Amino acid sequence: MARFAEQVAEVGGGSLTVPDYAAFLAEHYLADYLPAGGAAVKLAVAGSPETAGRLERALGAAADAAGCRFVSVPAAEVKVHQVEQLLFAVSRQVEWDALAASVVRTAYDEAAFPASGGLTVADVAREHEVDARELYRNLRRQLEQTLLGNHALPPELRRAMLRLAQVQLGGRDVDRTEHEAVLGWLRGDKIALSALRPALIYARIGRHNARSLLTSLACLLLTAGYRGLILHLDCTRLAESRRPPVEQRTGVYYSKAAVLDAFEVLRQLIDATDELRGVLAVAVVPPELVTDESRGRPAYTALQLRVADEVRDRRRANPFVALVRLEVRLEAVG
């Protein structure tokens, strides 16, 4: 902690630098805590847009080095106040077929038929000189036990992953149309429910089920061999109270009500920490979103109570707390 104290004179007290905070997260969260099933939600106050950009890059590099999956969701492009849109933004950055391939490869290992090359049943049966039909039955049972028996996942996600895993086996159980329908369902595309019935999926993803799917996604990543999920939320756009002229507008803008809904999504993530496995969520906000009583954190008491640091050393930063300040002057954040 001496290193963090030494930087106080440079950044104004009680604040961390981006490299030090990224290194702290890598050591205390990414190395062992996330792979063991731990989870945390952080609110990072970035002193400038340049600071926020460096934090995103540092988190991505740390995630790659640790074997974690890094996903970044900018509020300027995604309606983060709608949990289903947040899920879809995350889902579009997940390589679902590669994820299914990892699950299948693990299933081959657990069935004592490791696949050194291709993952189709024909390839692995040829490699081990066994009957392809018998191998398929063994592997189907193993996948059902791994996916359908994983009660940490919602039933519809278990069935979706089973279908994607079956595609990797090279059989005829899942055709191209069903495969594309399942992928589209996961990514929020408009898919007819009739196209999803063969996968035993009977409802679209909406606000009613998106949160459970989002909280269980990291558990699925752990099952597939990743060491955790790093979810980076760039909430800078939430601070813009006035929209620019029409010709200058880009992306998504938020009313005060939408900002409070976005805070509600963050509050739900914090409250779901005990349900999350292998997740580090870092929401990056500008200083004004922490102090503005009309549009910032004080306007939503439920979030304020969960991240408020009632006792804080103004000279020494504590990187373990939920709300951290990165290269922020004392006068910027009270």
Domains of the chain, by residue range, sit at 2-68+227-326, 96-199
| Amino acid letter, 147 | L
Q: How many helices (H) and strands (E) does the chain have?
A: 15, 5
Which positions ≥6 away from 191 have C-beta within 8 Å? 181, 184, 185, 204
CA distances (Å), origin 39, targets 126, 217, 268, 277: 42, 13, 14, 6
How many other C-beta atoms are found inside a 10 Å radius of the C-beta of residue 282?
Answer: 23
**So what's the pLDDT on residue 311?**
58
Q: What percent of the chain has pLDDT over 70?
A: 93
**So what's the pLDDT on residue 2?**
45
**So what's the pLDDT on residue 1?**
44
- Asked if residue 139 lies in contact with residue 108, where contact means CB atoms within 8 angstroms, the answer is yes
Strands 39-46 and 229-234: unpaired
Cα-Cα end-to-end distance for the chain: 23
What does the CA dihedral 259, 53, 93, 35 come to, rounded to 10 degrees? -100
Domain 2-68+227-326 classification at class level: alpha beta
Distance, CA of 327 to CA of 73 (rounded, Å): 22
**So what's the pLDDT on residue 3?**
47
Name residue, tokens 């191998």.
Answer: 135
Name residue, tokens 């099952």.
Answer: 223
| Amino acid letter, 58 | A
Element (H, E) at 45: strand 39-46
**So what's the pLDDT on residue 9?**
33
Sheet of strand 39-46, all strands in order from the earlier edge strand to the far edge? 69-74, 229-234, 279-285, 39-46, 323-326
Q: Which residues of the chain have pLDDT under 50?
A: 1-13, 331-332
Strands 323-326 and 39-46: parallel
Give the global pTM: 0.88
